[in-house]
Amino acid sequence: MATPVKMPELGESITEGTITRWLKQEGDRVEVDEPLFEVSTDKVDTEVPSPVAGVLQSIRVQADETVEVGAELAVIGTGGAKKAAAPKAEPAEKAEAEEGAAAEAEQAPAPKRREAKPAARARTGDGKAAVVSPLVRRLAREHDVDLSQVEGSGSGGRVRREDVEAYLAGRGKQPAARPAAAAAAPPAAGPRVAVPLAKGLREEVVPATRLRRLIAERMVASLQTSAQLTSAVEVDMTNVMRLRQRAKDAFKQREGVSLSPLPFCILALVAAVRQYPNVNSAMDEDGNLHVYKDVHLGVAVDTPKGLFVPVVKNAGSLNLAGLAKAIADVAARTRDNKIGPDELSGSTITVTNTGSRGVIWDTPIINQPNAAIFATPAIVKRPVVVEDPELGEVVAVRDVMYAVLTYDHRIIDGADAARFLVKIKEVLEEADFESDLGLSRD
């Protein structure tokens, strides 16, 4: 029996993907859920596991080719190893066979079969077409690269990611040539400056992983895409921490997950979004503002491979326990490499819990295309001035946290960001969380 391997659905609005690398070759044995190939889209790069166990009999779509979702990529069978190649025909026999095959081809109608969709092509200055994947197109766009100047090392002269990266590395020595029209226009950004590395030092040169390069590209692209500004307010978390201390043991036993301060902060975030919905939005390429009615929360997760942002869908409809369980679930599955590609896209706002590693202040970079990212640094005990009903102003030890918001200044004004943060502060300091925890007010 033979099982076709098809291009999987990789998330909402994703209709195609580019095969960047096959992790198995024809004739190789493959197990169920063993990584089979790597695929790249405009939104995510990921490994795709094998749907069945068997032998990879044939690969229908080669690296650097772009195909639609559902297209057949390979065939896995339950047979033995790769068949031996047929013996080569003698020159005379080979020529005769080729002539006969050519004659038959002229007489027979062309067979109908679904061809793999080739990667998109960018027209070069000399009229030739360069084949590029979505990842290469994005990389070229982010770094203002004219692909006609890049020599492709892929099959058929395809321009690969490595080719663009090598081209960028050499820019410091050889400035990129531009078409006349582009040269006349002012550049969109300053020139890339090649800074020489330190020499004569003891060092170890470690090649960056594919994921690390992808994270680097997206962080730089985010800063180039939106006007980012960071604001913060100081929040007295004493009441939240006392409630947590009272409820955490019973909560863990009842819900099966630990109760951290993060779900409290997200409840406050959702309350602020309801009052200031433009923070839960995105701007498209035409300058239109998309204000979302549902909160799909991206949660930054630190993994051994690097940073991932899985999404908790409809976070605004969850209570304290629901948020705690949902966050624990996506974080665990992300670290165990069990999160689905469709769960790594579609966020409307993002939270990063930098306090889990002891950081007390942060300026996070926006997770595009979100308008904002909310950071929850560490909660620390500090002496602060508080108002006592009987004694007036007194100094007391309180649990304090900075609530931090990096926002897109194209969409959100500074005053709106301040009001948004003040709302979060009010909820965390004054809201009744006892009902969510099954407690009564003292």
Catalytic residue annotation: 409, 413
Question: Which one-letter DSSP state was computed for residue 226?
Answer: S
φ, ψ of residue 401 in degrees (nearest 5): -140, 145
Q: Alpha-carbon distance 308 to 394, whole Å?
A: 44
- Strand segments (E) across 174-312: 228-236, 281-283, 289-291, 297-299, 301-303, 306-308, 311-312
| Contact (Cβ atoms closer than 8 angstroms) between residue 138 and residue 66 | no
How far is CA 376 from each of CA 231, 347, 422, rounded to the nearest angstrom? Answer: 12, 18, 14
Q: Which of 257, 403, 243 is nearest to 327 (CA)?
A: 257
Strand partners of residue 158: none
Respond yes or no on whether the N-terminal peptide bond of residue 369 is cis (omega within 30° of 0): yes
At 295, list the tokens.
Answer: 């909160």
φ, ψ of residue 302 in degrees (nearest 5): -85, 125
| Contact (Cβ atoms closer than 8 angstroms) between residue 349 and residue 272 | no
Question: Which one-letter DSSP state was computed for residue 193?
Answer: P
Cβ contacts of 73 within 8 Å, gap of 6 or more: 4, 5, 6, 7, 19, 37, 59, 60, 61, 67
Angle at which helix 320-335 crosses helix 238-255, to 10 degrees, equals 70
φ, ψ of residue 39 in degrees (nearest 5): -130, 145
Q: Alpha-carbon distance 4 to 251, whole Å?
A: 47
Q: Alpha-carbon distance 422 to 415, whole Å?
A: 10
How do strand 54-59 and strand 372-375 relate by DSSP bridges? unpaired
Q: Alpha-carbon distance 68 to 371, whole Å?
A: 30
At 344, list the tokens.
Answer: 């790594």
At 329, list the tokens.
Answer: 């679930």
| Contact (Cβ atoms closer than 8 angstroms) between residue 237 and residue 400 | yes
For 427, counting Cβ atoms within 10 Å of its Cβ (0-12 exposed, 13-18 middle, 19+ buried), the class is buried
Q: Alpha-carbon distance 115 to 66, whole Å?
A: 11
